[in-house]
Amino acid sequence: MSDFSRTSAKYGKPPTHGFRCVIRSGAMGVAETPARYRDALPQLNRTPFLTDGGLETTLIFHEGHDLPHFAAYDVLTRDGGEEALRHYFEPYVRIARDRGLGIILETATWRANSDWAERLGHSPGRLAELNRRAVQLLEERRDEYETDATPIVISGCIGPRGDGYVVGGTMTAEEAEAYHAPQIATFAGTAADLVTALTMTYADEAVGIVRAARAAGVPVVISFTVETDGRLPSGHALRDAIEDVDSATDGYAAYFMLNCAHPSHFDAVLEPGSAWTDRILALRANASRLSHAELDEAEELDTGNPEELALEYVALRESLPRLTVLGGCCGTDHRHVEAMCQAWPTE
């Protein structure tokens, strides 16, 4: 193993206890997948649109699940694991349907790439199987809950090769494309409408992911995380990271997002009216104002204040006028997303 993978856990110390989309598939020719929105993502035209909260912190701290290496996808290998994920997503879907809003459901696959799978003892074939099953679970939720007023978009979640809080080892864009291509290709053959790369810590890895998604014919969203000074863990400015990704990929990413940081960490670096800021359409903030380092050392989960966080989202509308997708990251749960719905001004 390389030094890409630094820690075995994130966010402190856990308790002990449509239409069919046609894609190319290499020598096999043309394959059909049941992707419903791959050619027309509804979140680009509706506001607000919801997504979920902190999956891993909810499973660990609220539900008592052990997640080695912060790998939520590993619960799919256990008795009761699928039911645990159904239980997690249900309140978010109900909130969206009760309010007549669309929602994006992210697969529980943030750690489901090859380095982390090796640590967990999963072969490449088993890893691909678990990525596909994670999508199928969300298809079931969609079949049960989707209405005309509540489109349910399925996103294949891509995580960083490394830690997510610390850069560690880095890849060139070419190396990142080759590394992430297998997971993205797996999602391309499923009902996933897009892929979303969460908690990106440096631009080159994001560039590689975008290129791999473009090669697979799948829409992609890039989400950077930042430190308390608004800069990426690599030290790069957020503006530079977004512009570098767009420049290297001809602007292929559907949009950008920020995640795993509190609004107070990045609000000062946003530039209202600038082209790069207008590329940010989604936000999955942490409940806590603590830094990544402080969160790693935390003994208890900091859930913050749902109503306060919701008002901070509303305040960001001045800086992020195109903000459309509302959700959360570490420490948040369905209560935070519901508070966002209540606070968000009606158009």
User: What span, in angstroms and rounded, lies between the C-alpha atoms of 108 and 77?
Assistant: 12
Most trustworthy range by pLDDT among 1-5, 26-30, 201-205: 201-205
Asked whether residue 303 is domain-assigned, the answer is yes
Range of the domain at 195: 21-343
Mean pLDDT of the chain: 91
Of all residues in the chain, what percent carry a pLDDT higher than 90? Answer: 85
**Which residue in 16, 112, 131 sits closest to 65, CA to CA?**
16
| Per-residue confidence (pLDDT) for residue 305, from 0 to 100 | 97
User: What span, in angstroms and rounded, lies between the C-alpha atoms of 89 and 70?
Assistant: 18
| Prediction pTM value | 0.91
CATH number for position 52:
3.20.20.330
| pLDDT, tens digit (0-9, with 9 covering 90-100), for 99-147 | 999 999 999 999 999 999 999 999 999 999 999 999 999 999 999 999 9
Asked whether residue 95 is domain-assigned, the answer is yes
Which of 1-5, 68-72, 157-161 comes out lowest in average pLDDT? 1-5
| Between 203 and 292, residue with greater pLDDT | 203
- Does the pLDDT value for residue 19 go beyond 80? no
Whether 67 and 344 have beta carbons less than 8 Å apart is answered as no
User: What span, in angstroms and rounded, lies between the C-alpha atoms of 342 and 345?
Assistant: 8
pLDDT range class, residue 164, cuts 50, 70, 90: confident
| Per-residue confidence (pLDDT) for residue 3, from 0 to 100 | 54
3-state secondary structure of 117: helix
| Per-residue confidence (pLDDT) for residue 47, from 0 to 100 | 83
Asked whether residue 11 is domain-assigned, the answer is no
Asked whether residue 4 is domain-assigned, the answer is no
| pLDDT, tens digit (0-9, with 9 covering 90-100), for 229-261 | 999 999 999 999 999 999 999 999 999 999 999
Asked whether residue 15 is domain-assigned, the answer is no
User: What span, in angstroms and rounded, lies between the C-alpha atoms of 265 and 56?
Assistant: 22
Burial per residue of 141-169, b for 16 or more beta-carbon CB atoms within 10 angstroms, e otherwise: bbeebbeeebbbbbbbbbbbbbbbbbbbe
User: What span, in angstroms and rounded, lies between the C-alpha atoms of 51 and 96?
Assistant: 9
Asked whether residue 331 is domain-assigned, the answer is yes
Phi and psi at residue 288, to the nearest 5°: -95, 150
Asked whether residue 12 is domain-assigned, the answer is no
Asked whether residue 5 is domain-assigned, the answer is no
What total number of domains does the chain contain?
1
| Per-residue confidence (pLDDT) for residue 20, from 0 to 100 | 33
| Between 211 and 4, residue with greater pLDDT | 211
- Does the pLDDT value for residue 24 go beyond 80? no
